[in-house]
Structure 1
Amino acid sequence: MKVNRKEFPLDRTRQVAPQILEILRSRILSMDMPPSTILSRISLQSEFNVSQTPVRDALIRLEEEGLVEVYPQYATVVAKIDIGHSVQAHFLRLSIELEAIRRLTSESPEETAAALQRVLLRQEQELAPERYDVFDLLDKDFHRTLFERVGILGLWTTVRRQSVHLDRLRRLNLPMPGKMEAVLADHRAIIDAVRSGDPEKAVGAMRKHLSGTLSIIDLICEQYPDYVSR
């Protein structure tokens, strides 16, 4: 699976270690750097034209997030996708987002549906394989809207931090035939359910949507056996 690597110039007016962290995290989550990719500290220092300290600090953070594994005196490699961690992240998202959609459908169905519709309209414009990155960002915006509207935006950071392995699974799932169209169909169903003012209908639509990737976990593992750890 090949993804065109984007250039991320560093802003020398800001600390570079956090920028390197974001760049490497983005490459790993997008599968530009798939599991088992070796990360050479010397090569990274050369690429970003920095000393060893910011590269080391960025790799330490990635290790804490479970995205790389460090083998002292040997190498740093991109970690395999942890299926168990993905299942836990899925449970966390279900717990929060089902309650959020239930409450919003009861309290502000029209306003919530309109906010979600605005994101959906933008996402519909990105329905092309070469637009995976933008499509995926808008998918996150769709769900972030729920956190914002229900007043728990602080939890969004927690969910994103806990979802790194699930995000990589989703990235493997997204290019599968019909997946992008299925995501849009799910989003439309969620919006229609919210607008109906029926909380249980909205919860059902959201549950179906959030369970999409894990429902075909065996297929993903079969297609990418070297990428996952069960």
Structure 2
Amino acid sequence: MNLVGIPFRLDRSRNATVQVFEHLRELIVSLAVGPGTVLPRPQLCEYYGLSLSPVREALLRLEEEHLVDIYPQHQTQVRRIDLAQARQAHFLRLSVELEMVHTLAQRGDAALGRALQGLVARQRACLEAGDLAGFTAVDMEFHRVMYDAAAIPDLWALARSRSGNLDRLRRLHLPMNGKARSILAQHAEIAERIARGDAEGAQRSVRTHLSGTLNAIDALRERYPELLLPVDYRS
């Protein structure tokens, strides 16, 4: 594990365990710390400037999200991407977001549509600048804004807590075969259909949008066999 050059500043007004968890989770989900990486607790304590207790608790939370494997008295290792977990996260998000966009579109909310189109414009600017990290951050904001508009922010938190493996797959998929451009087009379509009150059309757009990465599993497995767990969970 090499965290040299990766900035972190502890906020003494916030819970230390939460901060370590959030920081390590982002490093893992963004693939800055890749599958198979060993996470030595003494090095983590030194890096974060903390005692063992908050670091250990943060690692346990990451294990609960199936992002690390903890081998007692031995080591902690970043888990390879778990397709079973990714598929469950996809099922959860698809179930929620189909109902969510149907509800939003029934309102015919032009103001929400404009806000979402503004986020699409920001995503486009990130892509044109080659900023895939920024592109991904705005992608998350696009969906979060819809959850907030539908008054279901707790379900957004739930979906995020289950989506670590799915998000890692999407990070791998994003640079491939015009994936980013297709995300832009799908987001714009979702925003337009919500604004004009096309509930069924918005649902079709969401179904297409959320299914793209899992439909590319074979290509991802062929390109990155060392990053995915070897068992095929499609059966």
TM-score interval, smaller chain: over 0.9
Q: TM-score, normalised by structure 2?
A: 0.90
Is contact 1:129-1:175 (8 Å) kept? no
Give a deviation string over 1:131-184, Cα, whole Å, max 9, x none. 222111110111111111111111110011111110111111112242211111
- Does residue 103 of the first structure (1) align with residue 103 of the second (2)? yes
Paired letter, 1:43: Q
Gaps of 5+ in 1: none
Instruction: Please list, as runs of the form range in 1=range in 2, the aligned pairs for 1:191-230 lying within 5 A after superposition.
Output: 191-229=191-229, 230=231
Between the aligned partners of 1:191 and 1:50, the Cα distance in structure 2 is 44
- Partner in structure 2 of residue 160 of structure 1: 160
Q: Provide the rounded CA distance (Å) in 2 between the counterparts of 1:54 and 1:96.
A: 33
What is the CA–CA distance in structure 1 between the aligned matches of 2:5 and 2:166, rounded to whole Å? Answer: 21
Q: State the distance in 1 between where 2:117 and 2:128 align.
A: 20
Q: How does 1:150-189 map to 2 (within 5 A)?
A: 150-189=150-189
Q: How big is each residue's C-alpha offset from its partner over 1:83-110, in whole Å with a ceiling of 9 and x where there is no partner?
A: 0111111111111111111121111342
8 A Cα contact 2:108 2:196, kept in partner: no
Q: Does structure 1 conserve the Cα–Cα contact (< 8 Å) formed by 2:40 and 2:76?
A: yes
Q: Deviations over 1:63-90 (max 9, x none)?
A: 1221110112221000111101111111
TM-score (norm 1): 0.92
2:127 corresponding residue in structure 1: 127
> d(CA) in 1 for partners of 2:162 and 2:46?
31
Instruction: Describe the SS at the equivalent of 2:95.
Output: helix
Q: Residues of 2 paired with 1:23 and 1:119: CA distance?
A: 25
Cα offset for 1:129? 7.1
Distance 2:50 2:109 in 1: 51
- C-alpha distance in 2 between matches for 1:58 and 1:198: 43
Q: What amino acid sits opposite 2:132 in the alignment?
A: Y
**AA aligned opposite 2:17:** A
What residue number does 2:27 align with?
27
3-state DSSP class of the match of 1:77?
A: strand
Other structure's SS at 2:131 match: helix
Structure 2 CA distance, aligned partners of 1:104 and 1:14?
Answer: 35
Structure 2 stretches lacking a partner, 5+ long: none
SS in 1 for 2:126: coil
Q: CA RMSD in A?
A: 1.7
Contact 2:8–2:48 (Cα < 8 Å) also in 1: no
CA distance in 1, matches of 2:167, 2:190: 21
Name 1:50's counterpart in structure 2: 50
Contact 1:105–1:112 (CA<8 Å) still a contact in 2? no
- Residues in 2 aligned to 1:129 and 1:29: alpha-carbon distance in whole angstroms: 22
CA positional deviation for 1:61: 1.3
Q: 1:77 to 1:92 in 2, by over 3 A?
A: same
Distance, in Å, in 1 between the alignment partners of 2:135 and 2:164 is 17
Alpha-carbon distance in structure 1 between the residues aligned to 2:128 and 2:74: 40
Residue 12 of structure 2 is aligned to residue 12 of structure 1: yes
SS of match in other structure, 2:208: helix
Name the CA shift for 1:129/1:224 in 2 (closer, same or farther; >3 Å). farther
